[in-house]
């Protein structure tokens, strides 16, 4: 179902906005208007501590987690990226990504989300003790009302409630903000807020099957893949009406990345240390409707240590599908590490 059309070395694709591809090359952001045939500099992430090493050595960048991991484009022309220990914003027509938030706990949030009012949100992603530890510190969700220039805590999970925030997501069908947390027991929560995190509603809680990193929204239901090394992983869906849940597909590993354009959606599995999920390949799953899923591609983990040089992953940019093609970046994978891949889909 998928055929590789193009591989673009040394570019980590992060966002596709109106056919413009944004990608990171070290701590520099580039954009392409012709599907990666040519690139122009969009801006530089201003970080004197990490930028040099990120630009000079790929393996060192993997070892130290010195990477630009997310980029969003705002309605006022600003671009916001996450990188090690910070959130950086480039204003419209500026080529300087300046730090507006310093991450004191953890390395970086896993994502930044935009709501209908153009407010931005992220949740803290920190180690917060090992998986089995009983004591957890409080964990914050932050909000920006001025395009990422300033941030304030808008909600706090009390001590011993969750380990960290896996992600925050906007649901266009209901205008709710959803969140997912982990990692063990009652720390695994899928919930939402209707008032900007003044209050929260817990929808699912208490089992590894509710340990999600990315949510996909359809008119009548919500889909996610589980992120657990302790059990077999599955793609689940639950109905909006009544929240009845269904296990719809067993998969080869934990899910750290997913993407969606309309009814089309992709989920990728991760190669990580696990006695239960021991598949050495990252798999790409595709669906036309969120219910029927097909394993369309797989890539083997590269030779470098899982512990030190990161798990094998297929990572998606925002708006990853263009012209019946899926665009992604390989991470710690044979032949695809730190490369943008354009795959044609036989739809």
Reported as a single tens digit per residue, the pLDDT across 133-189 is 678 999 999 999 999 999 999 999 999 999 999 999 999 999 999 999 999 999 999
> At residue 319, does pLDDT exceed 90?
yes
Place of tokens 């004197």: 48
Rounded Cα distance between 20 and 186, Å, is: 41
> Is CATH 3.10.180.10 the classification given to domain 2-345?
no
DSSP code at position 158: P
Considering only residues 1 and 29, tell me which one the structure prediction assigns the higher pLDDT.
29
3-state secondary structure of 346: coil
Mean pLDDT of the chain: 95
Segment 75-103, tens digit of pLDDT: 999 999 999 999 999 999 999 999 999 99
39-43, 55-59, 61-65, 221-225: least confidently modelled range: 55-59
Please say whether the beta carbons of 169 and 176 come within 8 A: no
Confidence at residue 56, expressed as pLDDT on a 0 to 100 scale? 87
Among 293, 295, 345, which residue's Cα sits nearest to residue 324? 345
User: Could you tell me the residue ranges of all domains in the chain?
Assistant: 2-345
Cα 287 to Cα 22, 284, 293, 323: the distances in Å are 25, 10, 5, 16
Segment 229-276, tens digit of pLDDT: 999 999 999 999 999 999 999 999 999 999 999 999 999 999 998 989
Over its C-alpha atoms, the chain yields an Rg (Å, rounded) of 19
Confidence at residue 214, expressed as pLDDT on a 0 to 100 scale? 98
Please say whether the beta carbons of 302 and 333 come within 8 A: yes
| Structure token pair of residue 226 | 């589980």
| Structure token pair of residue 176 | 């709710």
Rounded Cα distance between 70 and 23, Å, is: 10
Confidence at residue 281, expressed as pLDDT on a 0 to 100 scale? 98
Confidence at residue 322, expressed as pLDDT on a 0 to 100 scale? 82
| Structure token pair of residue 147 | 């395009």
> At residue 7, does pLDDT exceed 90?
yes
203 burial via Cβ count (<10 Å: 0-12, 13-18, 19+) = middle
């Amino acid at each position: 179902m998928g055929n590789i059309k193009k591989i673009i070395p040394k570019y980590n694709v992060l966002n596709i906005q109106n056919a413009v591809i944004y990608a990171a090359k070290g701590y520099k952001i580039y954009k392409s208007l012709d599907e990666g045939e040519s690139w122009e500099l969009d801006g530089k992430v201003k970080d004197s501590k990490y930028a040099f090493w990120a630009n000079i050595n790929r393996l060192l960048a993997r070892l130290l987690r010195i990477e630009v991991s997310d980029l969003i484009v705002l309605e006022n022309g600003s671009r916001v990226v996450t990188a090690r220990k910070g959130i950086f914003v480039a204003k419209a027509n500026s080529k300087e990504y300046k730090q507006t938030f310093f991450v004191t706990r953890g390395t970086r949030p896993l994502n930044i989300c935009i709501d209908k009012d153009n407010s931005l949100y992220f949740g803290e992603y920190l180690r917060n003790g090992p998986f089995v530890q009983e004591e957890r510190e409080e964990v914050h969700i932050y909000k920006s009302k001025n395009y990422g220039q300033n941030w304030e805590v808008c909600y706090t999970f009390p001590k011993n409630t969750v380990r960290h925030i896996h992600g925050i997501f906007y649901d266009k069908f209901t205008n709710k903000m959803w969140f997912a947390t982990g990692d063990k027991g009652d720390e695994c929560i899928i919930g939402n807020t209707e008032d900007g995190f003044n209050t929260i509603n817990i929808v699912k809680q208490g089992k590894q099957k509710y340990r999600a990193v990315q949510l996909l929204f359809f008119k009548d239901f919500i889909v996610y893949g589980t992120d657990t090394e302790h059990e077999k992983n599955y793609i689940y869906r639950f109905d909006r009406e009544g929240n009845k849940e269904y296990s719809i597909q067993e998969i080869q590993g934990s899910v750290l990345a997913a993407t969606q354009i309309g009814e089309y959606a992709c989920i990728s599995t991760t190669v990580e240390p696990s006695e239960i999920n021991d598949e050495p390949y990252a798999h790409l799953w595709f669906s036309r409707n969120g219910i029927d899923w097909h394993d369309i591609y797989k890539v083997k983990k590269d030779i470098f240590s899982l512990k030190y040089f990161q798990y094998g992953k297929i990572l998606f940019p925002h708006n990853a599908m263009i012209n019946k093609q899926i665009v992604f970046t390989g991470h710690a994978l044979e032949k695809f590490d730190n490369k943008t891949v354009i795959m044609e889909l036989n739809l």
